[in-house]
Structure 1
């Protein structure tokens, strides 16, 4: 593959790599080829690169450029994986350039931010304009559980000798500054019955029938309840989205399971959300002591708290506005790598070119002018030191 001549060509080259996230593609190292190619590309520009192992996955790629020993570190992050391509109505890996846009899976979410970050780092370094020692982290697995971000924060960061003043996570925000974001709790609720032959159902206990009562109560007392909205991220949400039960048509089912997806605001914690679900179930247990029902977390991600990120958000907002970008401080209802980094005490904001409405769509794309605006915005951040 030839060396891209500009950021648009870099993005198109990235989109041509199939990096559908391992949980969807079944390929544990789905991002490995793209990560290795970008590392080689960065070394040609004189940057130092490292492959940082992630258990059971392709490695993260860390690209660094130091401008001076006394300068603080700024960490940029962009993920390499994408969601699946089922239902797409364009060639997901064609990277077509037409109508002033780059088309393909990941163009917006979020190879566009990665291309803009790397190109901005190249331009700022070549101009001798870097105000920060800069690390660009290209992470794996963000679309499912964020193992790349978690591995870096827990294992690599304490040993690398750099503690970033702030972290800029790349996602398509229209160059607005996301300083708070919702987290999530994906919970498993299980009813336990007694199996029996369907010719004598009275000898068993039907877990699906029990689950019908549980669903009705959860829907009325938990799913439909809305806590006060957060000033930046809005209200949380909750829905029952999966149900499984039974083994075959002539057996009374001994187990039934539903999965809930609850989006929690920065005013909540995953533990609180689970406790509230269990309180609803406990009232059912008290009404019927023979009911066996349990709730447990299948996956969780803590929210991104606004207060922790105020200094970085205000610096980024002022810097971007000074460079002619939007720069307004907002919140987001979705979860990113920033949620994971924040759990380790890092101050994070989410900023990037493109529109989140394009993410995961059948005709995903990003505008060429949006991409160029991303390069300008990231350059402004790389070349402007916090003075507070």
Structure 2
């Protein structure tokens, strides 16, 4: 039972997220493969497919009863293949690394948790081992959301890549759309027109000032401060017309203690101030997708068990990006993130360090055996 061989099989299966790349293959083929592998290794399996063509699979090894259950969670979807340097679906090993799309993000973690669960189930365990290979983490995380409608566990480990460092926090995000309203008129009639784009400039300056306040204000000990940036801007029709509106899409990255409601109020206060102080300034604010930040309790049993299983002092870190840990935490499941070393997530060259893959598999095996035993 070798995680390297299993990883090579997983990488060779196209599982590009079609929400990111229209026409992408999706997760059906890789979930079919995982389901067969779990069945061959004595797991109960359940396929979840609330969204047709976007399945997840949950495999369970039942304990004898009276013990703690542990969920190992990872996503089987990948980003696109276009622009990859070489054949993204032909795993290649050189210099102790395996190259290919998804090796690092995150089929390495998938292979490690599958093999670790199979090894751990050979021991007499009282608690259940639950392995969730989920869809759609790269876009909307509908896979883990669906899993949590049907499964619970006493704790969880998400095997996103973490360079074998114990990751106990990550940022959340909120997307907003601000539409600054002007009035269309011929370019020769400034008495009739209101330039929405120049009015929007006042907001962009205020947004930059907000970013500075976040950078210099109170800081989270692992994550630092929240951030904000303007992602896209559109406005205007033609050179000779006053623009009737200017639309700005922005992202606010959040740290523990910041919420979608608090960040909405933060922006509303800025925009209301501009309405009072800038002549003819009018706006509409729409809040889009929001994901909460995550912070684990360092004294949680699952954290202590994994740290003990490392056999050496851990490096504790946080991530600036969002993961499914936040959904598990919101569901009341204590969790942390721990995964392979490597590089190239979403990049033209991607690889996993194979020694770290073996190390991850060993640590997950010990952690699962101890936690469920």
Alignment partners' CA distance in 1, 2:244 and 2:97: 53
User: Any idea what the Cα deviations from partners look like across 1:337-372, whole Å, max 9, x if unmatched?
Assistant: 0112212222111111224x4322221100111111
CA contact (8 A) 2:226 2:255 kept: yes
Q: What are structure 1's unaligned runs of at least 5 residues?
A: 158-162
If the length of structure 1 is used for normalisation, what is the TM-score? 0.89
2 CA distance for matches of 1:140 and 1:309? Answer: 30
After superposition, the Cα gap between the structure-2 partners of 1:337 and 1:309, relative to the gap in structure 1 and judged at 3 Å, is: farther
- Compute the displacement of 1:54 (Å): 3.0
Question: Is the 2:16–2:25 Cα contact (8 Å) retained in structure 1?
Answer: no
1:276 to 266, 283, 286: 266
Report if aligned partners of 1:244, 1:256 keep a CA contact under 8 Å in 2: yes
Aligned to 1:160: none
SS in 2 for 1:22: coil
Number of matched pairs: 372
Superposition deviation, residue 286 in structure 1 = 1.0
In the alignment, structure 1 residue 176 sits paired with structure 2 residue 179: no
Verify: 1:343 aligned to 2:343, yes or no.
Answer: no
Matches within 5 A, 1:255-294: 255-288=245-278, 290-294=280-284
* Aligned counterpart for 1:380 among listed residues 362, 366, 373: 366
Kept in 1, the 8 Å contact 2:177–2:285? The answer is yes
2:127 to 121, 129, 132: 132
CA distance in 2, matches of 1:18, 1:258: 35
Check the 8 A contact 1:16/1:93 in 2, yes or no: yes
Cα distance in 2, alignment partners of residues 367 and 10 from structure 1: 15
User: Of residues 295, 300, 313 in structure 2, which corresponds to 1:310?
Assistant: 300
Q: 2:136 aligns with which of 115, 119, 141?
A: 141
Alignment CA distance shift 1:38-1:201 (3 Å): farther
Whether the aligned pair in 2 keeps the contact of 1:224 and 1:238 (CA below 8 Å) is no
The answer (yes or no) to whether the contact 1:75–1:164 under 8 Å persists in 2 is yes
TM-aligned CA deviation for residue 221 of structure 1 = 3.3
Give distance in 2, aligned partners of 1:202 and 1:95: 65
Deviations 1:90-141, CA, capped at 9 Å, x for gaps:
322221122221101110011100001001112222x335463101001111
Give the counterpart of 1:167 among 137, 140, 156.
156
The structure 2 residue matched to 1:296, chosen from 260, 278, 286, is: 286
* Cα shift at 1:276: 1.1
Is the alpha carbon distance of 1:362 and 1:28 closer, same or farther for their aligned partners in structure 2, counting shifts above 3 Å?
Answer: closer
Q: CA separation of 1:344/1:7 partners in 2, compared to 1, >3 Å: closer, same or farther?
A: same
Quote how far apart the aligned CAs of 1:270 are: 2.2
Shift of 1:36: 1.2
Q: Partners in 1 of 2:210 and 2:314 — Cα distance?
A: 39
* Paired residues of 2:12 and 2:89 also in contact (CA < 8 A): yes
Classify 1:250/1:43 alpha carbon distance in 2 versus 1 (closer, same or farther; 3 Å). Answer: farther
Q: Are residues 248 and 224 of structure 1, via their aligned partners in 2, closer, same or farther at CA, if it must alter by over 3 Å?
A: farther
Structure 2 vs 1, CA of residues 246 and 380 (structure 1 numbering), >3 Å: closer, same or farther? Answer: same
Distance of 1:143 and 1:376 partners within structure 2: 27
Question: Contact 1:131 / 1:383 at 8 angstroms: preserved in 2?
Answer: no
Moved more, 372-381 or 93-102: 93-102
Q: Verify: 1:334 aligned to 2:334, yes or no.
A: no
Post-superposition CA distance 1:175-225 (Å, at most 9, x none)? 222122111112212112223344545433222121112111211234653
**Aligned residue number for residue 202 of structure 2:** 213
Asked if 1:81 is matched to 2:70, the reply is no
CA distance in 2, matches of 1:320, 1:54: 37
Q: How far is the alpha carbon of 1:29 from its aligned partner? A: 6.2
1:370 to 349, 356, 365: 356
Q: When the two structures are superposed, what TM-score results if normalisation uses the length of structure 2?
A: 0.92
Measure the CA separation in 2 of the matches of 1:222 and 1:286: 22
Corresponding residue number in structure 1 for 2:3: 7
**Alpha-carbon distance in 2 for matches of 1:270, 1:56:** 30
